[in-house]
Structure 1
């Protein structure tokens, strides 16, 4: 049984899906992973997994280059000849489904981990319609399973007739969290409350709105709170926040930008509140990790984000692109440490019930096995 997993870059696979690839290999699958090697490919080539360096632009609007990419997908599938191919993120879903159809790959899993930058503004223009139409062509046959992280993304593809009666559809809440690695940890006994933003520095993650909130709060709270930004500046992403913007914002005391970090457990333990004012997500891994460690959350009522928070129970949800409301939600928590503690406990309970990585892994293996029948 050959399983081929295709996604965009190595670091995303490592953080979000490597545990599934390892579990599949342990269950008897011969596992291949194809994605761009940014220097971490060796971390994927473990436990019987074969890594294939396969790079492509995450955006790309040059028609001829996109046709060449489709041919490369077909060549990859002819070489590996998998029984099941698992596409993760939009571009592999679109091109991979078309290539799999042409090459006669019988089992296809399309993981819609959020409809991404193209759909973050809530509008469906010409480019979005082209993407949806290509998805529809690739999905119009037997042996296609879709995995969604939230009902909203499923409903969009249903509305535009991408899904059909031949497709199997399953909702799996995110990539899960290791409840042992991200064990519950009491709030730090510190007079300086740390507000953690753990994500890539992208405009659609709400970086501008968080800066606005930090400036609103600075006058009265500059000695009581600290904003800690942990994540890389993604220069290859259209929504990437320039490093100059981040350097201008941080001062080393009230606002600190730590860049990319490998030990996220440490930062969750050191913080008091986790914030993610994103415009759209699949189901953000950072928020389910925050739940597991026991941190109250301030996020938006955006697709994906809203599924991580029960309003007033383990955090607050504010409108998208509203820095004022974001500042007010942070202030409410900082002024009420007992509420922070209560919400942290509720978040841990939510993680145990809804986000256990073992359940996520088992659900994926069930989908793979179902495609062999």
Structure 2
């Protein structure tokens, strides 16, 4: 009989963009895979890939107590009734409520994936009552046999170890969510037209959106008509989300363009020359950066959690201090003015991506982790979802 694997993710689109290959590989390896996520309208794509789905009631950025209790209660009842063999929790909120639900429902095999700790663990909020409380809960739910945690950067791993949430032997590591190097193949930069600097992320202040706009304005007198800045990403309910009115007021639609949410990001990357990602958000490992590197684009990013693991300064891009629009403008100017440097760094970026970010390696780690926690599965009566 197939082992039942539940993968719990905030929203269906995130599973599709960051975990679909893992789910498919698990199914092909003999697991009965169900994805538990909020249905934003694209869950049918998960089912089309041969996986089951369950709609998750969750407010991914909310703090309303009633909403949080509803999410916890739903997961507990689901786990108790369906008796999955392994539960894989992706992201901080699902880790928090999902791990409590696992303990209450008697789930013996649990995997958590830390893919960025976000606002609650940034410079401003680290050490707050909320962040300390979350760490205490995770310590209670994770420090036990049959539990493993997959990290994407060493900063997050160090935090979990120093907080005594887990032990070293419970840790696994992947360089981000991985990339399909066949789909994101090395592509020469365009040789005609404007130099395009692209930024792909949710429109959140901590992602460095306004810092990039400020840097672009500092370069405007010299480069307007020669360079175009593309901001690709939708609005977000994050407390630090940038409003549509603010974006429209700061983007002129020509030199600086806000494109909104797009489904053709790969084509936009291929039409661009430079990736700018000045984030200080507590990233896991930003997938937008590794996508750009995979097709051969140099990256300018910050010396902050997650981001610093994507760039070797001076090799495949530049690493700058966070929140520094002057440093960002200076690094971008170097790449704009020097096509040969840009192209050399782009080739190095591709080599870096091939070495570090192959989705095959990420899948291998996940299957190994599932196999490891499977040793702790308690024999029980398995109910199949309809």
Q: Which residue does the alignment assign to 2:109?
A: 107
Shift of 1:64: 4.4
Asked whether the 8 Å contact 1:8–1:55 carries over to 2, the reply is no
Q: Which residue does the alignment assign to 2:64?
A: 62
Shift of 1:337: 0.8
SS of 2:345's equivalent?
A: helix
Provide Cα deviations, 1:347-373, integer angstroms capped at 9, x if missing partner.
000111110011111110111111112
Q: Which residue does the alignment assign to 2:161?
A: 158
SS of 1:246's equivalent?
A: helix
Q: Which residue does the alignment assign to 2:378?
A: none
Residue correspondence of structure 1 range 337-352 to structure 2 within 5 A? 337-352=339-354
Q: Which residue does the alignment assign to 1:131?
A: 134
Asked whether the 8 Å contact 2:303–2:319 carries over to 1, the reply is yes
Shift of 1:65: 3.9
Residue correspondence of structure 1 range 272-311 to structure 2 within 5 A? 272-279=273-280, 280-311=282-313
Shift of 1:164: 3.3
Alignment pair present for 1:148 and 2:172: no
Q: Which residue does the alignment assign to 2:84?
A: 82
Distance 1:359 1:178 in 2: 10
Moved more, 246-255 or 26-35: 246-255
Distance 1:294 1:64 in 2: 47
Alignment pair present for 1:241 and 2:251: no
Distance 2:70 2:57 in 1: 12
Give 1:171's match in structure 2, choosing from 170, 173, 176.
173
Asked whether the 8 Å contact 2:57–2:74 carries over to 1, the reply is no
Shift of 1:63: 3.4
Distance 1:211 1:120 in 2: 22
Give 2:321's match in structure 1, choosing from 319, 338, 345.
319
Provide Cα deviations, 1:75-111, integer angstroms capped at 9, x if missing partner.
1212331111100010111111111011111110110
Give 1:15's match in structure 2, choosing from 9, 17, 26.
17
Give the alignment's Cα RMSD to 1 decimal. Answer: 1.2
Shift of 1:6: 0.3
SS of 2:253's equivalent?
A: coil
Shift of 1:224: 1.4
Distance 2:247 2:145 in 1: 48
SS of 2:100's equivalent?
A: helix
Distance 1:257 1:95 in 2: 35
Shift of 1:59: 3.3
Asked whether the 8 Å contact 1:120–1:204 carries over to 2, the reply is no
Shift of 1:61: 3.0
SS of 1:302's equivalent?
A: coil
Asked whether the 8 Å contact 2:335–2:342 carries over to 1, the reply is yes
Q: Which residue does the alignment assign to 1:201?
A: 203
Asked whether the 8 Å contact 1:25–1:47 carries over to 2, the reply is no
Shift of 1:191: 4.1
Distance 1:31 1:20 in 2: 10
Question: TM-score, length-normalised on structure 2?
Answer: 0.94
Shift of 1:141: 1.5
Alignment pair present for 1:251 and 2:252: yes
Give 1:31's match in structure 2, choosing from 14, 30, 33.
33
Provide Cα deviations, 1:249-301, integer angstroms capped at 9, x if missing partner.
22221011111111211011000000111113100001111111000000101
Distance 2:66 2:230 in 1: 43
Give 2:45's match in structure 1, choosing from 43, 58, 61.
43
Asked whether the 8 Å contact 2:173–2:365 carries over to 1, the reply is no
Instruction: Show structure 2 runs of 5+ residues with no match.
Output: 376-386
Asked whether the 8 Å contact 1:199–1:205 carries over to 2, the reply is yes
Distance 1:37 1:256 in 2: 30
Distance 2:296 2:65 in 1: 47
Note closer, same or farther for the CA distance 1:206–1:318 as it changes in structure 2 (3 Å cut): same
Q: Which residue does the alignment assign to 2:336?
A: 334
Asked whether the 8 Å contact 2:6–2:87 carries over to 1, the reply is yes
